[in-house]
Amino acid sequence: MQPTPSLPGELDASRVIVTLATELKTVPSLEELASGGFSQVMTDHMILVSYDPVHGWSAPEIKPYGPLSMMPASACFPYAINAFEGMKAYMGPDGIPRLFRPEKNMARFARSAARVALPAFNPTELLKIIRQLVTIDKRWVPAAKGHSLYIRPMIIGTRSSLNLSISDSALLWVMCAPSGPYFRNTRPLSLFAATDAVRAWPGGTGEHKIATNYGPTLTHHQRAQAANHDMNLWLLGDKITEAGIMNFFVVLRRDDGDLDVLTPPLDGTILPGITRESILALAAAHPSRMILPGLSEETRLHPAERELTMPDLETWLADGNVVEVFVVGTAVVVSSIGHIAWGAKEIVLPQYGDALGPVSKALRERILDIQEGEFEWEDWCVPCV
């Protein structure tokens, strides 16, 4: 196939310049990764590409991971002109790393960058370069259940100016770190509902992965942890939005015995998670298009995007209709929620010991099997070869 012709200055994967590291690092062992979360050690290589108003996008580089150089007056520092992504590569049984629905990450990355007026780039070309990077750093993709290579694309505005103005210069890079299971076990999490702060608001930027949505949540995260909770539940009035940096789900038993699988709609205050979208799709496929592991064919799931409030949750609990509450995202995949502290109230949710509830367990298993190449589903996995 002929390479797609590009205009000069467009992000172009065919122009990649590869400089391999002369000294390779030691890959952390699975035991080291088992302590939870991401490794502090980045892989041997990174992608780096820059944009300036005269030349457009430079020839992308894959080069040894190392420090960046930029002016102290770069606009990204005071004005948070940046965007990021989070995605994972999983090692398949055939020894080929796979990305999970990466075109969705690329599209969201482009939207986030556009929201802070950063230069546009071709997401398809960026994905090609990421696949090449993962192939080069393949020995860093852990071949163990629940393990993966976390991939963090970043773009920042580097215009050297103290004025608040659009950054016509940018740096885009992609770095990777191996990761173990995010939480050491599947114990249900405890949430602390912030009643004096919101994460996102109508007309705000909550649906984008840009720095301003994250840094300011840390005081509340710290407070939640000091009170022995795992993370915040972010409300808007009494409306449930997200927990930590994860999308929120509740499973309800209906009068007809079927199960509703509900999550708040994408109204601009919710980050459009790819795990969220995948959970909705998998729930819709059961049982007509696939049987989820451990769920009976008779169990019908009705996924829906619906506004959820704390009073709703209390009512459903009082009526005995809540089957389980869980949260989802690339980092954790799926975790169950056991408690919510909300003002003076301590809301106790259905728990299944140290295990997940029946629906989240089925969905988690299936999504991991798809990600790890054990179960083929649509075109959700993109091999890196």
Ligand X SMILES: *Cc1c(COP(=O)(O)O)cnc(C)c1O
> For the window 316-355, what string marks contact with ligand X as x by the rule CB under 6 A?
-------------xx-------------------------
Binding to ligand X (CB under 6 A) within 246-265 occurs at: 246-247
Please report whether residue 274 would count as binding ligand X according to CB under 6 A. Answer: yes
Which pair of structure tokens corresponds to residue 42? Answer: 């980045």
Binding to ligand X (CB under 6 A) within 214-253 occurs at: 242, 245-247
Closest contact distance (angstroms) between CB of 44 and ligand X is: 25
Closest contact distance (angstroms) between CB of 36 and ligand X is: 17
Closest contact distance (angstroms) between CB of 6 and ligand X is: 28
Closest contact distance (angstroms) between CB of 304 and ligand X is: 18
Q: Using CB under 6 A, which of the segments 113-121, 170-178, 188-196, 272-280 binds ligand X?
A: 272-280
Alpha carbons 81 and 76: distance in angstroms, whole number:
4
One residue of 45, 98, 209, 286 binding ligand X per CB under 6 A: 209
Helix axes 102-115, 123-136, angle to 10 degrees: 130
Q: How many residues bind ligand X (CB under 6 A)?
A: 13
Please report whether residue 208 would count as binding ligand X according to CB under 6 A. Answer: no
Closest contact distance (angstroms) between CB of 357 and ligand X is: 19
Q: What is the largest CA-CA distance in the chain?
A: 65
Q: Using CB under 6 A, which of the segments 158-166, 274-282, 315-323, 359-367 binds ligand X?
A: 274-282
Binding to ligand X (CB under 6 A) within 64-93 occurs at: 86
Which is closer to ligand X, CB of 27 or CB of 271?
A: 271
> For the window 163-202, what string marks contact with ligand X as x by the rule CB under 6 A?
----------------------------------------
Closest contact distance (angstroms) between CB of 370 and ligand X is: 14
Binding to ligand X (CB under 6 A) within 283-312 occurs at: none
Which is closer to ligand X, CB of 60 or CB of 97?
A: 97
Please report whether residue 271 would count as binding ligand X according to CB under 6 A. Answer: yes
Which is closer to ligand X, CB of 199 or CB of 339?
A: 199
Which pair of structure tokens corresponds to residue 141? Answer: 């993709």
3-state SS string over the chain?
A: CCCCCCCCCCCCHHHCEECCCCCCCCCCCHHHHCCCCECCCCCCEEEEEEEECCCEECCCEEEECCCCCCCCCECHHHHCCEEECCEEEEECCCCCEEEECHHHHHHHHHHHHHHCCCCCCCHHHHHHHHHHHHHHCHHHCCCCCCCEEEEEEEEEECCECCCCCCCCCEEEEEEEEEECCCCCCCCCEEEEEECCCCCCCCCCCCCCCCHHHCHHHHHHHHHHHHCCCCEEEEEECCEEEEECCEEEEEEEECCCCCEEEEECCCCCCCCCCHHHHHHHHHHHHCCCCCCCCCCCCCCCEEEEECCCEHHHHHHHHHCCCEEEEEEEECCCEEEEEEEEEECCEEEECCCECCECCHHHHHHHHHHHHHHCCCCCCCCCEEECC
> For the window 112-151, what string marks contact with ligand X as x by the rule CB under 6 A?
----------------------------------------
Which is closer to ligand X, CB of 76 or CB of 327?
A: 327
Contact 287, 297 (CB under 8 A): yes
Q: List contacts with ligand X (CB under 6 A).
A: 86, 209, 242, 245-247, 271, 273-276, 329-330
